[in-house]
Chains A and B, each alone.
Chain A
Amino acid sequence: EVPLLESGGGLVQPGGSLSLSCAASGFTFSSYAMNWVRQAPGKGLEWVSGITGSGGGTYYADSVKGRFTISRDNSKNTLFVQMNSLRAEDTAVYFCAKTVSGDFYAPFDYWGRGTLVTVSS
């Protein structure tokens, strides 16, 4: 198993901010691209953002570009996403997911259990 443990979810008002973390263990964290994927209640999967192993390349869905910032701390084996200007439509379970290789353009072989973000007044 490759544990990925998300944290930081919760209830936030529209327009507010929240930061999620994903602690990784069991693999050489810096060697793999990482991603955030979300799932609104009862809905499908939506890829949100990804980052290369070095952190030098970041990618975003149009729906979050300019509001979310992905980052990683390879010394602490941790992935982050800073979410600003949150909207009701950002309400979802947020999963972190590891790619099968160091390449960003690769599928996701391990996923965390997810953390729920609820944006509501």
Chain B
Amino acid sequence: DIQMTQSPSSLSASVGDRVTITCRASRGISNSLAWYQQKPGKAPKLLLYVASRLESGVPSRFSGSGSGTDYTLTISSLQPEDFATYFCQQYYSSPHTFGGGTKVEIK
């Protein structure tokens, strides 16, 4: 199985800050990487896939990059509605493993 290591597990930031979350796969996943946002009590929401492709309707302040085993989610200017937990997921092979999550909290 491919293990997904996500960091940090939590961070505190202010509105307007630039935020970066990383995800490392235990082996190469050929950009088969998605990022999800989850708010308390809600289902996850797809933000990006194929590492950097923005899902329809997702604000352009969200971006993704990376290749091979290392991937990054960046929020260019954090907005109040962005305080949530973010998960990466590889869908290169089964099982489709998720990272442990990054909780973005208000500083």
SS class, residues of chain B in contact with chain A: loop
Known: A45-B101, A47-B96, A95-B44. 11 other contacts (CB 8 A): A44-B99, A45-B36, A45-B89, A47-B95, A95-B43, A105-B32, A105-B92, A107-B34, A108-B34, A111-B44, A114-B43
Contact count band on B: 20 to 34
A114 contact set on B, CB distance < 8 A: 43
Q: How many residues of A contact B (CB 8 A)?
A: 23
Q: A107-B34, A113-B43 are in contact. Are A44 and B91 (CB under 8 A)?
A: no
Residues of B within 8 A of A (CB): 1, 32, 34, 36, 38, 42-46, 49, 55, 87, 89, 91-101
Instruction: Report whether B46 and A109 are in contact in the complex, using a CB–CB cutoff of 8 Å.
Output: yes
Chain A CB count within 10 A is highest, among B36, B87, B91, B99, for: B91
Instruction: Report whether A62 and B95 are in contact in the complex, using a CB–CB cutoff of 8 Å.
Output: yes
CB 8 Å contact bits of A7-51 with B (1 = contact, 0 = none): 000000000000000000000000000010100000011110010
